[in-house]
Structure 1
Amino acid sequence: MSTLTSSSPIRIGTRGSLLAVAQAEMVAAQLASRGAVSEIVVIKTTGDKVLDRPLSEIGGKGLFTKEIEAALTERRIDCAVHSAKDLETILPAELTLGAFLPREDVRDVFIGRGGMTLAELPPGATVGTASLRRQALVRRARPDLKCAVLRGNVQTRLKKLEAGECDGTLLALAGLNRLGIPQIATEILDPTVFVPACAQGAIAVEIRRDDDRMIEACRAIDDRATERTVQAERGFLAALDGSCRTPIAGLATISGEDIELIGLVAAPDGTRVEEITGRGLVTEAAEMGYDAGRRLRARVGEGFFELLA
C-alpha cells in the first residue's frame, strides 16, 4: 500500500505571502491528485520581517528559508515549498530537494509608472529593486538611471511603485502568472539580454533525506526537465559561490538529449558584465553548470569577487 494515502496529512511549510501560499497550494494540489492529503503551515521568516535593507546587508537569501528549514529538521513540517531561486546553494546536510513542479516562465518584467518601458524612462529616473542582478543589468542598459532598494512581496512593491517611491520596478513573470496578474507588466524582458536569476520560475519541494514517505511523494510529482535545468543553474552558482552579494544570472534550456546554459556575473554598477555558455548531456546537468561557472570564475579572476565582497 502506498504511504501517500496515510491518514496523517502532509504538513507543507511555506512563507506567508500570497505568492508563497499560492505555490504551496500548487504542491498540495499535485499531491492530492496522487491521493495524498496535506495541510499548509505558514512560517514567518526573517526575510519577511526585515524590509528596509537589502538582503546582502542582513545575511543573504537564506533569510527566506532558514526558519522553514529549521521547522523541517525539527519535524514540525514534512516538506517545505520554496521559490527555488531563494534557496542557498548548499542546503543543510539532512535536507534535500525532492521535487520540482513544471517551471513557469523564467523571464523578468518591467513595470513602469504610466506605462513607460525601461527604454522610455527619462534620464535620472529611479528603478526600484532589491536584486543586485537586476540593478546591474538595469545599469548596463541605462547607466543614466538611478537604482533604489525596493523590498517586500509583490503587492507591497506594487503599492510602493504606485505611491511614487520609484518610477519603475522589475518582477518575475512567473510570480505574476501564478497570482493571475500578468497584465500589469509594461514589458517582458528578453531573457538572453536580461538573463534571469538562477532557478527563477521554479518551485522546489525540500524534504528530509530520511523521510521515505516524502521521497515517494516527491517522486510522484517531480518534473524531470525542471529538475535538470535547476541542477545546471545551481551548479553554475556553486562554482561561483553565488550569493545575494554577487550579481549572478543563469538560464539553462534543454534540447533533446543536450542541455545548454547561458550565465553571467556582473559588477553591481553594470560597468562590467562577463558572460559564458555551456553545453552538455542532460544527464550531466549539474556538472555542466559547475564547469561553466568554474571557467567563468577563472576568466574574471579572484580579484573580481574580492571587490564584490
Structure 2
Amino acid sequence: MRTSLRIGTRASLLAVTQSTWVKDRIEQAHPGVRVELVKITTKGDRILDVPLAKVGGKGLFVKEIEDALLAGEVDLAVHSMKDVPTELPAGLHVGIVPQRETPYDAFLSVKYGSIAALPTGATVGTSSLRRRSQLAAMRPDLSIVDLRGNIDTRLRKLDEGVFDAIILAGAGLHRLGLEARITTLLEPPLMLPAIGQGALGIELRRDDAELLAGMQFLHHPATAVAVAAERAFLLRLEGGCQVPIGAHATLAGDILSLTGLIASVDGRELIKDTATALAGQAAKLGGDLAETLLNRGGKAILDAVYCAGSSGG
C-alpha cells in the first residue's frame, strides 16, 4: 500500500461518518498509511428546496466524486450503494463492498408506535417515492409529505410536531449512533428497501490493482452477492430516471433469495414477487425477477411513471 490515500466523500455528517469508518479501518490494517478525507459537494447536496422526485437524472450524489476519482484528485470514493447508478463511468468500478448494516427502513414517531397506530390523516414525511408508494398501499388515508434535508433537520421537524412520523434508512441512524430514535424497523414484507440500502460501496479506478488488493480485507462476499442481485434487478428496470422500485436479497448458504417490487406512486398498483438461485447466479436472478414483474404488469406501471416525468428512490 502507498503511504497516503485520499478518500472522496460527500460532506454530509452521515457520509463523513461512513468515510471515517473506512479511513480508520485502513489505518488499522495498514499502519503507516495516512488517509485524508476530501469533502465534495454533489448536485444532490446543493438542491435541497426541490423534491428528489422532481430533480431527475442519475448519480445525483456521486457524479462529482467520480469526476474527482477519474481526475486523480482522490484515490477512492465511499458511497452509500443505494446512491450508486447501475452503470458506472468507464475506468471505475465498485471493487469493495463491506459488510452491510441493516437494510431496512425505520419508522420514527414521538407519539405512535407503528404505521398501523397512526390516525387517519396523520402526516408522514419521506423523501422517497419508493417509501411513499408502499406507505400509500398500506395506508391510503395518510398524508404523505416530502421531507428533505440532513438527518438532524428531519429529526428536528419530527420533534417540533411538523410530522406525526417520518421514515428514514435504519442504517444511517445506526451509523450515527441514533438507533434509540427508531420506533420500529420496517422489515419485509411490510416494506421493501431501496436497492443496496445499508451497504457501502468503495469505488476505485480499474487500473489501480495495488489499492484493490490492499482493500480486500474490507470486502464482504455475502453482502456483495446480495447487492449484485438487487442491482441487476434495478438495471433491467431502469429507464431515464429512478422510479418506485424496491428489492431485498438474502444469502443462506449457497442459496440467494431476492424479493422485488414495482409500484405506482399512489400505491394503487403494486407488483411483488420472490425468486431464488445459486449465489453464483446473482446477476441472472435479478434480471429474471425483473422480467417476471414486467410481464405481470410492471411495464405498464413504469411507462406511466416515466411518462409523468417522475423519479425518486
Task: Name the SS for the 2:137 alignment partner.
Answer: helix
User: What amino acid is aligned across from residue 66 of structure 1 in structure 2?
Assistant: K
Choose from 22, 26, 29 the match for 1:31.
26
Structure 1 match to 2:309 = none
CA shift digits 1:121-153 (9 cap, x unpaired)? 221111111100100111111100011110112
Distance 1:186 1:67 in 2: 35
Write out aligned runs for 1:233-248 (5 A): 233-241=230-238, 245-248=242-245
Choose from 257, 260, 268 the match for 1:260.
257
1:305 aligns with 2:302: yes
Q: TM-score, normalised by structure 2?
A: 0.93
The structure-2 alpha-carbon separation of the partners of 1:61 and 1:22, relative to structure 1 and needing over 3 Å to count, comes to: farther
Structure 1 match to 2:292 = 295
Distance 1:179 1:125 in 2: 27
What residue ranges of structure 2 are gaps of 5+ in the alignment? 307-313
Structure 2 match to 1:152 = 149
**RMSD of the TM alignment (CA)?**
1.5
Write out aligned runs for 1:132-143 (5 A): 132-143=129-140
Q: TM-score, normalised by structure 1?
A: 0.94
1:72 aligns with 2:54: no
Choose from 186, 190, 196 the match for 1:189.
186
Instruction: Give the Å deviation of 1:56.
Output: 2.6
Contact 1:53 1:149 in 2 (8 A): no
The structure-2 alpha-carbon separation of the partners of 1:184 and 1:303, relative to structure 1 and needing over 3 Å to count, comes to: same
Task: Name the SS for the 1:64 alignment partner.
Answer: coil
Structure 1 match to 2:7 = 12
CA shift digits 1:154-209 (9 cap, x unpaired)? 11211222233322110111111111111111122122221111111001101111
Distance 1:281 1:16 in 2: 39
Distance 1:202 1:79 in 2: 16
Distance 2:257 2:270 in 1: 20
User: What amino acid is aligned across from residue 27 of structure 2 in structure 1?
Assistant: A
**How many pairs align?**
304
1:207 aligns with 2:204: yes
Distance 1:133 1:302 in 2: 16
User: What amino acid is aligned across from residue 284 of structure 2 in structure 1?
Assistant: E
Task: Name the SS for the 1:114 alignment partner.
Answer: coil
Contact 1:123 1:144 in 2 (8 A): yes
Choose from 259, 279, 282 the match for 2:279.
282
Deviates most, 263-272 or 187-196: 187-196
Structure 2 match to 1:250 = 247
Write out aligned runs for 1:82-231 (5 A): 82-231=79-228
Instruction: Give the Å deviation of 1:250.
Output: 0.4
